[in-house]
Amino acid sequence: FLICVAIRANYPLYIRSVPTQGELKFHYTVHTSLDVVEEKISGVGKALADQRELYLGLLYPTEDYKVYGYVTNSKVKFVIVVDSSNTSLRDNEIRSMFRKLHNSFTDVMCNPFYNPGDPIQSKAFDSIVSTMMVQAC
Amino acid sequence: MSVPDYMQCAEDHQTVVVVVQPMGIVPEDQFFRIYKRIASVSQVSIRDSQRVLFIRFRHHYPPENNEWGDFQTHRKVVGLISVTSCTTAKEWPQTSDRFHGQKEVFGSTLYDSRLLVFGLQGEVAEQQRTDVAFYPSYDDCPDVEKRVEDFVESIFIVLESKRLDRATDKSGDKIQMLCVPFEKKDFVGLDTDSRHYKKRCQGRMRKHVGDLCLQAGMLQDALVHYHMAVELLRSVNDFLWLGAALEGLCSASVIFHYPGGTAGKSGARKPSVSSAADAGKRHRPGALTSSGISADTSAEIGRAKNCLSQEDIIEKYKEAISYYGKYKSAGVIELEACIKAVRVLAIQKRAMEASEFLQNAVYINLGQLSEEEKIQRYSVLSELYELIGFQRKSAFFKRVAAMQCVAPTIPEPGWKACYKLLLETLPGYSLSLDPKDFSKGTHRGWAAVQLRLLHELVYASRRMGNPGLSVRHLSFLLQTMLDFLSDQEKKEVTQSLENYTSKCPGGMEVISLPDGLKLSPVPFTKLPIVRSVSLLNLPVSLRPHKVKGLLGQGLSSASPFIYSPITMHSRGDERSKKIDFQWVQGDVCEVQLMVYNPMPFELRVENMGLLTSGVDFESLPAALSLPAESGLYPVTLVGVPRTAGNITINGYHTSVFGVSSDCLLEGLVGVKSSGCMVEVVPSLPRLQLCTSLPRFTHFSSSEYKINLSTSVSLQLFNGETQQLTITLENIGTETLNTLELTSKTLSTKEKLFGEFLTWDLQDALSHLPLKSGQSVSIPVNISAKLDFSGQESLLNDLNDDGISVTGLPVSSPLRQVLKPRTENKPVGSDASKNEFNHVKTLEAVLTFKYSGGAGQVEGYYRELSLGVRVDVEPSVFFTRVSTLPATSTRQCHLLLDVFNSTEHELTLSAKNNQDLVLHASECQRMAIQVDKLDFDSMPVTDHDALRQATVRQQEEKRQQVQGGLINSTLDIHWTIISFTERHGEASVEGVLNQLILEHLQLAPLQWDVVVNGKPCDCDVIADCRVGDAVPLEVKLTNRSKSAVGPFSLTIVPFQDYQNGVQNYDLQDAVTFIGSNTFYIGTVNPTENSVCVGALLFLYTGDFYLNIKFQDDSTARDLPPAWFCLPSVHIKAQEPVEL
């Protein structure tokens, strides 16, 4: 399983999961993980406001999934949920996936026709996520 | 031990448990009243010491938990208060027995017990017993608190004695082995003499003493004991108890660090006791020693050394929990420790670590839990997550708890509890049930999750047996989540909504839940979506008009400036802006909404009406059916204002899927509105107009078209007159008091002669006032008299040399006036040649102004306009006009070439003339003898008008008047033979020009010739006798404005042989008596001059007299037509025989 979400102001701009069944469960998982993300941001923010590590690491492990988080400087959050049994994905891979997502998201934001706050419908973004999902699974 | 206490917190370690139980039949509410009073004594300051004993009262306590009392003394039940009702003394022994039985349950651990008896009076109640208190009733027990305090003190004494007992026990060689229930079997056959065992016993005992110290309020001692216990137990790897000792250490430290408590709202500690300064004083070593009870050596050790730092507390908690984790049976202890740690962390604001503890707590398996316990567990988890600020996680667990309430395994699902819990999850999913929060822009959030939650709310409320609630929630779902629903879901949701509303229609009232939550109504502003709201003006014929000239009319006092570039414009004002038209009381008014249906199926909107304020308004609801995903669809809502004043359209109400909703415009997004306030004027009468002619819709003048209530059309031949009967019926409720009629001929290039529309209103006015339902008729004559000289353009073509037939140069300004303007004429000779077959159109508007009722008082009236369109077909044309002098100088012949341009045969008649029959397209000359006219004697109409007009206009006007005069004298009529009723006039006005007019004009010098006493003119033959002297008198009357003369006249007689030969040689036949030349001196205006002579005829015969002017220079500057003297015909006869 792998889910990618881009979140801004705590509502999702983009959410996609493979496989698609049981999507609601993932919604719950990601939604609750935002608590941790917020906590982490506020915690780190005090110490190092400028030079913050964007990658938040493992947000919390559940029995079945690992939830990773990433926050851009403009407080856009990315969350990736992977299957716990998937051992091929190490921290470094997740990190690079986030970086890719971030780059692609930046491209989306650069689109003058994109209205910030709207759901992302960019095909380019979609395809990046797709390739990542294929690689991961 | 299987029942965890989820409410536990660290400071509970210093409390003692007292169970308060009802015995026998005690009314629940009474019991809880007493219980509350008892529980208010939660902390008691002990006399003679500064220590405080904290009590946890429980009305229910599982005995299994009590068995763990040795492990952690705060789990031990040390006191029992029984509450019982006892009405007669007879029951008393039995009650007493039962009390003893109840004591047995916690017997092993109880320090003391009390029995509160209510209702017993008399002998038995008199007895003084320390363990029993008698009260006459539940309401009459003033000293319950006092009793409880005494009781607590007695418990304290036992506790203190136990503590001292145990604390000094260490000297004894045999220490009792304390153990938890599940350990008991492990110790069977263990070597009790080993060092290891002894140490274990020591350690456990130390820990136990620590617990007791803590409970007895000796924090420092407790810390010391715990430290010692930790060391001892660590060395023997007694993990469970090591954990307990560590936890005790933590608890004591927490109590020290956070005197305010960690339990939040549930820990209701009195602040006076728990303030930090107070706590410090309380635990001062000096104070402790002075109390005289304890002289523990360890008290000297600095408390800072013993007390754990804030970080250490967490570390130790972690350690303790990891030790507990080694024992499956200690799950409850572990769980509770986790919860306590989380509470501490929450205070420390270390949410991340707290969440780790909680995560751990989630995975602690407590074996088979009852459903109720599960619910409790999830609720507590949720609460704790909320405590550390994890709203979403909290909401998640709350939802799980809610679902647990209605798990299928539960025989009686608690839908109410489920619903209540679900409601509490709403903030966590950032969902508010107020639709107003969703009205701003597109909805943003976790739609999938929110949708699920809403569905669950709907279901739960339905199962709760509150269909009103489920309707409300479902409407909310539909309204706010519409964008996220698939087509299939939309269908399902609406279907179920319709099912629910069939039982319980949804309304606009606020639903209040028992716990105080108010569910505001959900107006379906998206079903359908309204895009614009515009108030419509009344139909033109019903619009009220204000009578001009009334005081204060049209004066806006908003600004002292006539014009200011600073507009008083602000964004918010648009809606409240007043619209510049008015509605009328009692008349149907309309508001147009542009709506569209976002649903994938047909949307039936019922009972759609307006919401208004300011004026009594009777809304006439409409039902509409919008096709699936319709585009913008206009909907007109109507209503009748019942009173006058300013009305504001606030919104509209609908009923969709059985849910009626009031949608206020101010809450709607993206609604265009040009203002919602309009004035309603008092009621006015209404007139309905019908005419004798067919209706006609294609009125050409577009600017008037919109204002016309109705219009008629008819076809007339040029010069024809037809009558139009207009019937006005008062269809309103008010009485019609005034009626005015005006007409306006629309600007046309055609020159129109005479009045186009004429009417007589007198008859109609006599019927006023016109009551409701009555009607009145007004006859209007329509006469079309256009230029009959349509041929002129043709003539122009024939006379390109610029000289018209009548010899007047084209450049003459007068001629220009007569001619239709050349630039308006169709270009091309073909078109102009056919002009006389061309149908011309005349248009006019008849306007009725009427008023009555209350509106009239306010100065309003209504206008009803009738458009009249007349297609004028040409009838006859005068293609050429000329004059011939008649025999009489007072008359002349007018020669008219008349062309019949109709397709019918017609007869033409003029005054004193025989009928002339003209076939279609035939042209004939018609000669009419006319008396010359004296234009100067005509009354000059309006001096003011003349003065203002330009010379040219004066001239035109004059000519028009002259033309009219000529026309009335000519009185030319035509009749189409095939339709006898079609007849009309033909006017020569247009064809007359200056020259002809001059011909027709009577000369200003009037000459009268009187022969033989008889005035002579052309056709009059004067008789005379041969040989008689014939007196001849010539009289000149000057009607011109200046003096004329002198003139000299010569009379020349001649004989006409009627064959062209005129014989002037008549010296033999006629002789003058006197001179044949007359002299007339200067004649002043309006005067006359007469000269007399005589003739003598010598032979019989017909003689003519030609009166000639002598060539005189003075006469030369006067026009020759002025010297037109009649010729005189005299017949000389045989003298009568005497």
CA distance B268 to chain A (A): 29
> Could you give the percent of chain B with pLDDT greater than 90?
0
Pick from A11, A32, A39: CB nearest B396: A32
Could A40 and B449 be called an inter-chain contact, meaning their C-beta atoms sit closer than 8 Å? no
Instruction: Categorize the per-residue pLDDT at B265 as very low, low, confident or very high, splitting at 50, 70 and 90.
Output: very low
Residue B297 has pLDDT above 70, yes or no: no
- Confidence check: pLDDT of B275 > 60: no
pLDDT for B696: 66
Token pair 């005992």 is found at B205
Distance separating alpha carbons of residues A76 and A122, to the nearest angstrom? 17
| B359 contact A CB<8A | yes
The per-residue pLDDT for range A75-121, each reduced to its tens digit, is: 788 888 887 777 777 788 888 888 888 888 888 888 888 887 777 88
pLDDT score of B60 more than 60: yes
pLDDT band at B99 (very low <50, low <70, confident <90, very high): confident
pTM attached to this predicted model: 0.64
Question: Is B448 close to A32, i.e. CB distance below 8 A?
Answer: no
Average pLDDT over residues B39-52: 78
Per-residue pLDDT reduced to its tens digit, A26-81: 778 778 888 787 777 776 555 555 556 778 778 777 777 888 888 888 778 888 88
| Interchain contact, A32 vs B444, CB within 8 Å | no
What is the pLDDT at residue B1096?
82
- pLDDT value at position B137? 79
The segment with the largest mean pLDDT, out of A4-8, B436-440, B608-612, is B608-612
Over 60: is that where the pLDDT of B267 sits?
Answer: no
Q: B446 — contact with chain A (CB < 8 Å)?
A: yes
Nearest CA in chain B to A40: B352
* Residue B109: per-residue pLDDT: 79
Q: How far is A129 from chain B (nearest CA, A)?
A: 20
Residue B281 confidence (pLDDT): 36
Give the residue, B938 or B185, on which the prediction is more confident: B185
* Residue-level pLDDT at B980: 64
Q: Provide, rounded to the nearest whole percent, the portion of chain B with pLDDT above 70.
A: 75
Look at A31 and B355 and tell me if their CB atoms are within 8 Å: no
User: Highest mean pLDDT: which of B57-71, B229-243, B291-305, B966-980?
Assistant: B229-243
Using the 8-state DSSP alphabet, how is residue B1023 labeled? E
pLDDT in tens, B626-637: 888 777 888 888
- Residues in chain B with CB shorter than 8 Å from the CB of A12 are 446
Neighbouring C-beta atoms of residue B429, cutoff 10 Å = 21
Dump pLDDT digits (tens) for B877-897: 777 777 777 666 667 777 777
For an interface test with B, which of A11, A31, A37 has the most B Cβ atoms less than 10 Å from its Cβ? A31
> Prior bond to B685 cis, omega within 30?
no
What angle is formed at CA A67 by the lines to CA A64 and CA A71, rounded to 5 degrees? 175
Between positions 1 and 20 of A, the ones with CB within 8 A of B are 9-12
* Cβ contacts of A36 on chain B, cutoff 8 Å: 352, 355, 390
**pLDDT at position B748:** 63
Alpha-carbon Rg for chain B, nearest whole angstrom, is 62
d(CA A11, nearest CA chain B) in Å = 5
- The SS3 assignment for B59 reads coil
| Model pLDDT, residue A137 | 62
Task: Examine the pLDDT at B326 and tell me if it is beyond 60.
Answer: yes
* More reliable by pLDDT, B468 or B185: B468
Looking at residues B474-495, what average pLDDT do you find?
82
Confidence label for B815 from pLDDT (cuts 50, 70 and 90):
very low
Average pLDDT over chain B, rounded to an integer: 74
Residues B349-365: what's their mean pLDDT?
Answer: 79
Give the pLDDT confidence score for residue B160 in this predicted structure.
Answer: 84
Which of B403, B449, B453, B486 is the best substitution to test chain A (most A C-beta atoms within 10 A)? B449
Q: A117: which chain B residues are within 8 Å (Cβ-Cβ)? A: 444
- Mean pLDDT, residues B246-273: 66
DSSP tag of B547? P
A35 reaches B (C-beta below 8 A): yes
Q: Would you place residue A4 in the very low, low, confident or very high pLDDT band (cuts 50, 70, 90)?
A: low
Q: By the CB < 8 Å criterion, does B427 face chain A?
A: no
Binned at pLDDT 50, 70 and 90, residue A14 comes out as confident
Instruction: Tell me whether A36 touches chain B (CB under 8 Å).
Output: yes
Residue B1003 has a pLDDT of 67
Q: Which two tokens stand for residue B937?
A: 């004697």
B383-422 residues touching A, CB cutoff 8 A: 385, 389-393, 396
The pLDDT of residue B519: 77
pLDDT for res B289: 35
Contact A40 B352 (CB under 8 A): yes
Q: Determine whether the interchain pair B449/A27 forms a contact, defined as Cβ–Cβ distance below 8 Å.
A: yes
Beta pairing partners, B809: B803
pLDDT of residue B831: 38
Contacts of B389 in chain A (CB under 8 A): 35, 39
What pLDDT digit, counting tens, does each position of B122-157 carry?
A: 766 667 777 788 888 777 777 888 888 888 888 888
pLDDT of residue B821: 38
What would the DSSP string read from start to end of B882-941?
A: EEEE-SSTTEEEEEEEEEE-SSS-EEEE-TTS--EEE-TT-EEEEEEEEE-B-GGGSPP-
B437 has a chain A CB within 8 A of its CB: no
Q: Give the distance from residue B317's alpha carbon to the nearest chain A alpha carbon, in angstroms.
A: 21
Q: Do B446 and A39 touch (CB under 8 A)?
A: no
What does the pLDDT average to over B68-80? 83
> For an interface test with B, which of A8, A21, A29, A35 has the most B Cβ atoms less than 10 Å from its Cβ?
A35
Closest residue in A to B429 (Cα–Cα): A31
Handedness of CA B623, B625, B631, B633 (dihedral sign): negative
Show which of residues 329-358 on chain B sit within 8 Å of chain A, judged by CB atoms.
351-352, 355
Chains A–B, number of C-beta pairs less than 8 Å apart? 47
Selected residue of A26, A30, A39 to mutate for chain B interface (largest B Cβ count, 10 A): A39
Which of B218-232, B292-306, B532-546, B589-603 shows the lowest per-residue confidence on average (mean pLDDT)?
A: B292-306
Pairwise CA distance, residues B37 & B15, whole Å: 18
Cα separations (Å) of B143 from B37, B47, B149, B537, B992? 10, 19, 10, 80, 130
In 3-state terms, what secondary structure has residue B870?
strand
Confidence of residue B117 (pLDDT cuts 50, 70, 90): confident
Higher pLDDT, A111 or B875: A111
What confidence tier does B285 reach under pLDDT thresholds 50, 70, 90?
A: very low
Of B1055, B1042, B1043, B1017, the closest CA to residue B1132 belongs to B1055
Place of tokens 């005829």: B1097
Q: At B576, is the pLDDT very low, low, confident or very high (cuts 50, 70, 90)?
A: low
Alpha helices in B918-1072 (DSSP H): 943-948, 951-970, 994-1000
SS3 content of chain B, % helix, strand, coil (to 5): 35, 30, 35
Q: What is the pLDDT of residue B802?
A: 35
Q: Is the CB of B390 less than 8 angstroms away from the CB of A35?
A: yes
Mean pLDDT of B546-554: 55
Nearest to B44 by CA among B215, B210, B236: B215
Is A11 close to B446, i.e. CB distance below 8 A?
Answer: yes
If you average pLDDT over residues B545-562, what whole number do you get? 56
Are A32 and B393 an interchain contact pair (Cβ–Cβ within 8 Å)? Answer: yes
Contact B448 A60 (CB under 8 A): no
A63: nearest CA partner in chain B: B363
- Taking the CA of residue B309 and the nearest CA in chain A, the distance in Å comes to 21
pLDDT (0 to 100) of residue B269: 40
Confidence (pLDDT) at B828? 37
* The total number of residues written for chain B in this structure: 1138
What's the pLDDT at B290?
Answer: 35
Contacts of B449 in chain A (CB under 8 A): 24, 27-28, 31
The position carrying tokens 């502003």 is B525
Chain A contact probe: residue of B390, B443, B451, B455 with most A CBs at under 10 A: B390
Contact B385 A35 (CB under 8 A): yes
A43 and chain B in contact, CB less than 8 A: yes
